[in-house]
Amino acid sequence: MWTIKSEGVRRILRNALPFAVMPAIVLLLPLGLQEQYYALVSFVMVMLALLLFLSGFERRDLGTRRMILVSVMTALSVLGRLLPVIKPITALTVLSALYLGREAGFLVGALSAVLSNFVMGQGPWTPFQMLAWGLIGLFAGILAKPLKRSRLLLYAYGFLSGFAYSMLLDIWTTVWTYKEFTLEEYLAAISTAFPLTCLYAVSNVIFLLLLAKPIGDKLERIRIKYGL
């Protein structure tokens, strides 16, 4: 069987990998490759960042129930992503983060991205989407207190995260299509995507408007009923 038996070795590998490999790649790659440098480095960096986050959560004990709730919320947001044009993924990620914690938020975001891409089309952009949605969830979890207190802040967060998501993904679009990264091309990519980004941001707010109360109530009920 092909598994690393010792938990200790696994942990060391998980932690050492990102920290040792990331700088190494940044330093060494340019020596070999000139042309694809940006695309490859950004891809590898994002992969490693993802690994870093995910391995962090592997160590934390979420509790069985919370873990299953994460899988439930993930499945729901994937179902939602199959709607035409506008997607409730951000809204559901943010709400999960608010009620189930920041780890849960990250996981719901990142896993929804991979899972829904099995239908929407998997590709090299998947890790970027995972990271983007994961971070949206993570920060929502960190900001849970104020976001729960004020609806207005929550909507603002939804709106801004639409832009943040687009901007992160445009980094990839730029390096992938132009093989290099210049501010000019990045701005061009952002401006082409601008109408869609706006639609995203607005749809996030709409979904939060519609879903914040019912989903919040339900998650709260479950939390009370089962003492999470």
Partner 1 sequence: METLAARHLTVTFPECKKPVLSDVSFELESGTFAVICGPTGCGKTTLLRMCKRELTPLCTQSGDILFESQPLASLDARISAGQIGFVMQHPEQQIVTDRVWHELAFGLENLGTDPDVMRRRIAEIASYFGIESLLDRDPAELSGGQKQLLNLASVMIMQPRLLLLDEPTAQLDPIAAADFLTTLHRLNQDFSVTILLAEHRLEEVIPLCDQLLLMERGTVVMQDSPQTLLAKMRADSPVLAGMPAAVRLWHELKPDCDCPLSVNAARTKLMPLMPQQITALPAPPPRPHTDPAVEISCAFFRYERHGRDILEDLSFTVGSGELYCLIGGNGAGKSTVLSVLAGINRCYAGDVRIFGKRIQDYKGRSLHQNCVTLLPQDVQTVFLCNSGDEELREIDRQYSAHLRDFPFDLTPLLAQHPYDLSGGEQQILALAKVMLTQPRLLLLDEPTKGLDAQSKQRLADVLHGLQAQGITILTVTHDIEFAACHADRCGFLSRGALISADIPQRFFAENAFYTTAASRISRGFYQQTVTVDAIVQLVRRNHEATGH
Partner 2 sequence: MRSYSEMNPAAVTVHLMLTACITIFCMEPFLLGISLLCAIAFFIMQNGRKHAAFHIGAIGMPTLFALLNPLWNQHGTTVLFFINQRAYTAEALFYGAVTGIRLAAVLYWFRSFSQLMTSEKLFYLFRFLSPKLALIFSMAVRNLTLFRQQMQRIRTAQRGLGLYREGHLIDDLRGGLRVFSILLTWALENGIITANSMAARGYGIGKRSSFTFFRWRRGDILLLTASLLLGAAVAAGIASGRLDWQFYPTCTPAAHSPVYFAVLTAYFLLALLPVIHEYKEAMMWKRLRQDI
| Nearer to partner 1 (CB atom), residue 14 or residue 65 | 65
Could you tell me the smallest distance in angstroms from the CB atom of residue 98 to partner 2? 15
Could you tell me the smallest distance in angstroms from the CB atom of residue 35 to partner 2? 6
Residues with Cβ < 8 Å from 157, sequence gap 6 or more? 94, 140, 143, 147
| Nearer to partner 2 (CB atom), residue 22 or residue 219 | 219
Could you tell me the smallest distance in angstroms from the CB atom of residue 2 to partner 2? 6
Could you tell me the smallest distance in angstroms from the CB atom of residue 82 to partner 2? 10
| Nearer to partner 1 (CB atom), residue 19 or residue 226 | 226
Q: Which does 227 bind (CB under 5 to 8 A by kind): partner 1, partner 2, none?
A: partner 1
| Nearer to partner 1 (CB atom), residue 1 or residue 152 | 1
Q: Which does 78 bind (CB under 5 to 8 A by kind): partner 2, partner 1, none?
A: partner 2
Q: Rule CB under 8 A: which residues touch partner 1?
A: 1, 221, 225-227
Q: Rule CB under 8 A: which residues touch partner 2?
A: 1-4, 7, 14, 32-36, 39-40, 43, 51, 54-55, 57-58, 61-65, 67-72, 74-76, 78-79, 107, 111, 114-115, 118, 121-124, 176-177, 179, 188, 210, 214-215, 218-219, 222, 226
Residues with Cβ < 8 Å from 106, sequence gap 6 or more? 53, 57, 97, 134, 135, 137, 138, 141
Could you tell me the smallest distance in angstroms from the CB atom of residue 95 to partner 1? 18
Q: Which does 79 bind (CB under 5 to 8 A by kind): partner 2, partner 1, none?
A: partner 2
| Nearer to partner 1 (CB atom), residue 1 or residue 183 | 1
CA atoms of 129 and 56, how far apart (whole Å): 19
Q: Which does 157 bind (CB under 5 to 8 A by kind): partner 2, partner 1, none?
A: none
Q: Could you write out the three-class secondary structure of the chain?
A: CCCCCCHHHHHHHHHHHHHHHHHHHHHHHHHHCCCCHHHHHHHHHHHHHHHHHHHHHHHCCCCHHHHHHHHHHHHHHHHHHCCCCCCCHHHHHHHHHHHHCHHHHHHHHHHHHHHHHHHHCCCCCHHHHHHHHHHHHHHHHHCHHHHHHCHHHHHHHHHHHHHHHHHHHHHHHHHHHHCCCCHHHHHHHHHHHHHHHHHHHHHHHHHHHHHHHHHHHHHHHHHHHHCC
